[in-house]
Structure 1
């Protein structure tokens, strides 16, 4: 017998995303989950707030949201894709400091902290500082950006500062600040089979004292859109296996 909303699921968006980024997944989730997509300022429901530009600020903002929304009678999970995966690790760590421990964090589209991106032969520098032409080309390579945004000057001009701010969160603080993190929560890592650095997915294992699992699913960086049913099953099992 199901008990509705037995577990809270907090979802952290990718660079350029918002609380709407996981709408594609909602219909596939078990009724036992309280589906809670979050967002940092400057987009979606928080459009009128100023964009953040540091990792520390994003971690603090997300952690405050989770603390405010937590129902301590229920266990919880954190899911993050790409930028959201990087931040999920530190957010889970901040929650552990107050002894509110996630059952598991599910991290996708990211090999984890400490794994550097391949050297750029053209030396274009960090993405958030690229000139307009290089930055737009980088977004096209990354994928996941609707063509109507890239092909419309008006939409692109709206979207560009959000993307630059999010890349600054990832790139401005180059120090490996997560190096000492060892979560009590389990970690489940996912990457697309066509992603650069997917061979480093096991890197996530060193950030937990709990159980660790990993999986490569067919696709590129935004493979999640092609596997909503599989993703929902992984999230459900991360609850069942750790409760």
Structure 2
């Protein structure tokens, strides 16, 4: 058990998300024991004045650079990503392994892992009407954003940019295998939930998974459970 150093937690957002996407989890982590670092890609939140990243390789490198900058080498840490954050997190962790600074675990939610066959639809190329319908199916986007044109015009470019990152090269990770354990969680109503064990092929280490009630954004309904998982995996069982 870690007693001398804080555990650093690095969180990678979903498509359309920002550094504020995990604010609902922050209260569960004691500042005396944890450093909570919610990262974000350019074009939103605190980085709204920067140009979007539209390439997966560049998105991975951006997250990698952020993580390296904030890392305190002697402190234990974990990486958690939801949906797009899970996919990018896999490659980010691989790069951290390559520089000899691997996390204790990679936690992934709302994602069956790279290489699972999906429909060939390119969300970032859809017209606004079709794009809104796809976002409704995924959940997580407030209806107010979809119905208010001003709000939609603000958030739509962010979401399209993130979908472009994912959909232009949807299997950059082919052949990638970690030495880091992976813990995966999905909602039982997600279309690809039956493929969650796909994550197992991306690690030589321990693989665990759990299925929750709910859809793609089940994490919003089970914040305490998600927090407990992160805490348990970082060996800080402070929630009991």
Give the TM-score range, shorter chain.
over 0.9
* SS of match in other structure, 2:234: helix
Structure 2 CA distance, aligned partners of 1:26 and 1:193?
25
Question: Which whole-Å CA distance do the structure 2 matches of 1:128 and 1:66 have between them?
Answer: 27
Partner residue in 1 for 2:69: 68
Equivalent residue, structure 1, for 2:209: 214
Q: 1:178 aligns with which of 173, 179, 182?
A: 173
Q: Distance in 2 between matches of 1:146 and 1:237?
A: 31
Deviation at 1:29, TM superposition (A): 2.3
Give the whole-Å Cα distance in 1 for the aligned partners of 2:186 and 2:38. Answer: 20
State how 1:1-243 maps to structure 2 within 5 Å: 3=3, 6-31=6-31, 32-117=33-118, 119=119, 125-174=121-170, 176-240=171-235
Runs of 4+ in 1 over 4 A off after TM superposition: 1-5
SS of match in other structure, 1:240? coil
1:30 Cα deviation after fit: 4.2
Distance in 1 between residues matched to 2:201 and 2:17, nearest whole Å: 28
Q: Deviations over 1:192-238 (max 9, x none)?
A: 01111101001101111111100001110000011111111111111
* Residues 1:159 and 1:61: Cα distance change in structure 2 (over 3 Å): same
| In 2: Cα distance, 1:130 partner to 1:18 partner | 22
Separation in 1 of the partners of 2:180 and 2:123? 32
Q: TM-score, normalised by structure 1?
A: 0.93
Q: So what's the TM-score if we normalise by structure 2?
A: 0.94
Q: Could you tell me whether the CA contact under 8 Å between 1:5 and 1:34 is conserved in 2?
A: no
**Unaligned residue ranges in structure 1 (runs of 5+):** none
Unaligned residue ranges in structure 2 (runs of 5+): none
What is the alpha-carbon distance in structure 2 between the residues aligned to residue 178 and residue 59 of structure 1? 11
Q: Against the structure 1 CA distance between its residues 21 and 5, is the aligned structure 2 distance closer, same or farther, given a 3 Å change threshold?
A: farther
Give the match's secondary structure for 2:197: helix
**What is the aligned length?**
235
Q: What does the per-residue CA deviation read over 1:9-50, in whole Å, with 9 as the maximum and x for residues that have no partner?
A: 000000000000000011122442211000000000000000
